[in-house]
A and B are shown apart, each in its own frame.
Chain A
Amino acid sequence: MVKNSLGRLIPETFHGRPLTPYADPFSLRPTGNVAPRPLRRVNPGAGKLLPGLREAIEAAGLRDGMTIATHHHLRNGDLLLGLVVRELDGLGLRDIRIASSSVHPVHAEIIPYIQKGVISAIECGVNGPIGEMVSKGELSCPVVVRTHGGRARAIISGQVPVDVAFIAAPTCDEYGNMNGFYGPSACGSLGYAHTDAEHARCVVAVTDNLVPYPASPISIPQTLVDYVVPVATLGDPKKIVSTTTRITTDPVGLLIAKYAAQVIEASGLLRDGFSFQTGSGGISLAVADHVRRMMREQQIKGSFGCGGITGYFVDMLEEGLFQGLFDVQCFDLKAVESMGRNRSHMEISADMYANPFNAGAVVNRLDCVILGATEVDVDFNVNVNTESNGYLLHNTGGHSDTAAGAKLAIIVAPSIRGRLPIVKDAVTTVTTPGETVDVVVTERGIAVNDKHVDLKNELRRRKVPVKDIRELQQEIYQITGRPRPLEFADEVVALIEYRDGSIIDVIRKVEE
């Protein structure tokens, strides 16, 4: 065991893999080259269309111990991962690693196959029951949680070689040209799949909307795709879009949003060329609404909005408040529909979005990002992976990537969740290091990281309730009391990988 720079105890290896403890957000430099993959040749007259997933698995040469990937554009409506895993079992395959972009609660259907040994490891973050069972020690399956940028890095660098990528293609032709804009399972951007299409040893497009050649427009081209498999359905379109894309009506949430907007205004970043990202949560959207109003009133022409894109950003684009949108993933149908018709609403890969090891990601150009938290601590470290019960319940997403990239990373969170305080002495799990977090906004006050003395003074001048983070913590503790710390066993069940591949924290089994 070694302590990383945040004082977290990191084992030297995890299931045979030697680990690099996290040191700081920016200094770890990559060595070597982009990982190679085999050249291929498809001659005139040869087809790519196969009758089913089983034939595709066989044609791809998938064997015991290999790694597969799917993508979470269909979110909690995705049926593809479950279909693939059932076929793997049907073929008697074992010890397969899943390196998807994210696993959602719908994928609880693969739990029996983990128990059976079909799936032996998960090389991605998990949302929902799988993480909970792993945390409790009820499921033996090592998990490595990665950021969106970190996943792209791991695949491109060869840290996680993907043997077969199964790409859910809402629109696809028989030669593998695809896009996500149209069809019964339209999801908009295919941002997470691009990296796999370019780097997996074999690429299988799976579609429920086979169109005559050529599909148009082309998001992922035929040159990257080995096989095409038609299926009855890729997912449940009602669950593809996030259900939370509405401005909050909760007065506490609205107050938090108002403070966050005041922080943005006081930061001086809200000027021509402003770039901005928010998630799809109710508070984030309320902040976006304030930002939109301020941009209108002050006639500010922004540069870009990015990340997971919602209808609110589409409206801002169409109103001329941004020059363009960079979209890795659409959060609602309005965004899906906009991508299909507006050239300024651009699809980008997770690599371009957030990979720290390329010639410059979009997050590097971000002025301001609004992020959530399940916990923060007095050093501004943020947890989004575990909750106060210690269970691994959430994926990191672009949290650490955007916090590192943006000039101003604002965490918005209610000061009390359930009956638990949001500000702790030390977060249960560090997802995003405090050195990349600038401001924490709660309804009880705003804490500004000490590195921003000017911002702190400006907010005080504007009579915004700025508090020292410890002062804020004490104020919350007066209501909630100090929670008893959780007890963990020594056994490490999951890694939290920072975007550069170093280990920022680990998840230990919860002592029940």
Chain B
Amino acid sequence: MTEFRLRRTLLYVPGNMPSMLQNIPMFDCDGVIIDLEDAVPYSEKDAARILVRRFLEGYTDRNKEVIVRINPLDSKWGILDLKEVLRALPDGIRLPKADSPEIVERLDTLLTEFEEELGVEIGRFKILPSIESAAGVINSIRIARCSKRIIALAFGAEDYTASLEIERTKTGEELFHARTRVIWAAKAAGIQAIDSIFADVSDMEGLRRETRLIKTLGFNGKSLVNPRQIELVHEVFAPKQEEVDYALQVVDAIQRARTMGTGVISLGGKMVDAPVVKRAVRVLKTAKAHGLIDIELDEEAIYGEK
């Protein structure tokens, strides 16, 4: 089973803004994506990557996942970005324009080289590929499986709609197929799926509608453009009290079943077996991350000894 890590909220922070970088430790998003790509004008590419390295070196008490969005590998900045920021040990790299598995594999190789050079564990640096074109969506199934470093597929709706020469709407009908395909690709590969940004910071109701939709579809979280969006997305992703209560009953029931030497038990007339238990455990872990419950989950007691 892959490591459980909440990625409901990945907040973009421009890499060329010291005043915003210094606030990273304060916000309670699950992760940040420090941006060296679109948010940084050409004239500041060099300054930004140095600033980001310095910031990360001083940010020793890492209280959230730190991902750096580099410039595309085929641009003149991509490799320079890696060279500078990897020394400061971010958790991962968001790769823009990950249109094909080959591009991601190239990053994988580069990361291995850097890991050897820096003397850190091979596989330490994770990859978050951005699926943001028609080609990327088509290839997402292969992309999701092309490297062990990939933690999730990130869907980029702004670039995707641009590549399709269409407008992005707030209701998102035009994104439906691409979103579901990215989710299938990710979930089939056992990784997470992260939805696109919602650009209108003043439209909280619009953000709520979209977050509800993408949660229902199967996304694990969203990329965000403003810290004000964090709380609302967490709220939508928070399990309902009924779900938590039911999950607690499921876990309790299956533990009783284990002591009786079986993996199946009936709870209120409904069968409880492995997939039900798995979902319940996920709900409880999420509830714990939200501070709704404070219990230790004994996975051995729940899933049985291996």
Query: Interface on A for B, CB 8 Å cutoff?
Result: 249, 251-252, 254-255, 416, 443-444, 463, 478-479
Contact B58 A249 (CB under 8 A): no
Cα–Cα, bound, A463→B294 (Å): 12
Q: Does B228 contact A (CB under 8 A)?
A: yes
Q: Which of B22, B58, B226 meets A251, CB within 8 Å?
A: B226
Contact B228 A478 (CB under 8 A): no
In chain B, positions 23-50 with a C-beta closer than 8 Å to chain A are 23, 25-27
- With A478-B58, A479-B22 as known contacts, state yes or no: A251 contacts B27, CB within 8 Å: yes
Cα–Cα, bound, A246→B161 (Å): 36
Contact B26 A443 (CB under 8 A): yes
New A-B contacts (9) at CB < 8 Å, excluding given A251-B226, A443-B23: A249-B228, A251-B27, A251-B228, A252-B23, A255-B26, A255-B227, A416-B22, A463-B291, A478-B58
Q: Which of B25, B228, B291 meets A254, CB within 8 Å?
A: B228
- B26 contacts across to A, CB distance below 8 A: 252, 255, 443-444
- B25 contacts across to A, CB distance below 8 A: 444
Q: Which of B22, B27, B58, B226 meets A255, CB within 8 Å?
A: B27
Cα–Cα, bound, A416→B25 (Å): 14
Cα–Cα, bound, A416→B21 (Å): 13
Cα–Cα, bound, A176→B228 (Å): 52
Cα–Cα, bound, A443→B25 (Å): 10
- A254 contacts across to B, CB distance below 8 A: 227-228
Cα–Cα, bound, A416→B20 (Å): 12
The smallest C-beta distance from A350 to any residue of chain B, in angstroms, reads: 37
Interface centre among B23, B25, B27, B228 (most CB of A within 10 A): B23
Interface size on B, residues (CB 8 A): 10
Q: Could you list 18 examples of A-B contacts with CB < 8 Å?
A: A249-B228, A251-B23, A251-B27, A251-B226, A251-B227, A251-B228, A252-B23, A254-B227, A254-B228, A255-B26, A255-B27, A255-B227, A416-B22, A443-B26, A444-B25, A463-B291, A478-B58, A479-B22
- A479 contacts across to B, CB distance below 8 A: 22
- A251 contacts across to B, CB distance below 8 A: 23, 27, 226-228
Cα–Cα, bound, A255→B11 (Å): 15
- B22 contacts across to A, CB distance below 8 A: 416, 479
- A443 contacts across to B, CB distance below 8 A: 23, 26
Cα–Cα, bound, A251→B23 (Å): 9
The smallest C-beta distance from B20 to any residue of chain A, in angstroms, reads: 9
Residue of B nearest to A256 (CB): B26
Cα–Cα, bound, A252→B25 (Å): 11
- B23 contacts across to A, CB distance below 8 A: 251-252, 443
In chain B, positions 1-35 with a C-beta closer than 8 Å to chain A are 22-23, 25-27
In chain B, positions 188-247 with a C-beta closer than 8 Å to chain A are 226-228
- B226 contacts across to A, CB distance below 8 A: 251
Cα–Cα, bound, A485→B25 (Å): 28
The smallest C-beta distance from B85 to any residue of chain A, in angstroms, reads: 20
Residue of A nearest to B28 (CB): A255
Cα–Cα, bound, A366→B25 (Å): 34
- CB-defined interface of B46-62 with A at 8 Å, one 1/0 digit per residue? 00000000000010000
- B27 contacts across to A, CB distance below 8 A: 251, 255
- B227 contacts across to A, CB distance below 8 A: 251, 254-255
Residue of B nearest to A259 (CB): B26
Cα–Cα, bound, A249→B22 (Å): 18
Residue of B nearest to A415 (CB): B26
Cα–Cα, bound, A255→B25 (Å): 12
The smallest C-beta distance from A482 to any residue of chain B, in angstroms, reads: 16
Cα–Cα, bound, A443→B58 (Å): 18
Interface centre among B23, B25, B26, B226 (most CB of A within 10 A): B26
- B58 contacts across to A, CB distance below 8 A: 478
- A252 contacts across to B, CB distance below 8 A: 23, 26
The smallest C-beta distance from B201 to any residue of chain A, in angstroms, reads: 8
In chain B, positions 100-137 with a C-beta closer than 8 Å to chain A are none
The smallest C-beta distance from A422 to any residue of chain B, in angstroms, reads: 14
Cα–Cα, bound, A152→B301 (Å): 71
The smallest C-beta distance from A364 to any residue of chain B, in angstroms, reads: 36
The smallest C-beta distance from B295 to any residue of chain A, in angstroms, reads: 16
- B228 contacts across to A, CB distance below 8 A: 249, 251, 254
Q: 10 closest A-B pairs (Cβ-Cβ)?
A: A251-B227, A443-B26, A251-B228, A479-B22, A252-B23, A255-B26, A444-B26, A254-B228, A251-B226, A463-B291
Residue of B nearest to A255 (CB): B26
The smallest C-beta distance from B78 to any residue of chain A, in angstroms, reads: 30
Cα–Cα, bound, A255→B291 (Å): 18
The smallest C-beta distance from A99 to any residue of chain B, in angstroms, reads: 42
- CB-defined interface of B265-306 with A at 8 Å, one 1/0 digit per residue? 000000000000000000000000001000000000000000
Cα–Cα, bound, A366→B300 (Å): 54
Cα–Cα, bound, A31→B291 (Å): 56
The smallest C-beta distance from A412 to any residue of chain B, in angstroms, reads: 14
Cα–Cα, bound, A252→B227 (Å): 9
The smallest C-beta distance from B11 to any residue of chain A, in angstroms, reads: 10
- A416 contacts across to B, CB distance below 8 A: 22
The smallest C-beta distance from A414 to any residue of chain B, in angstroms, reads: 10
The smallest C-beta distance from A297 to any residue of chain B, in angstroms, reads: 14
Interface centre among B22, B25, B291 (most CB of A within 10 A): B22
The smallest C-beta distance from B182 to any residue of chain A, in angstroms, reads: 28
The smallest C-beta distance from B57 to any residue of chain A, in angstroms, reads: 12
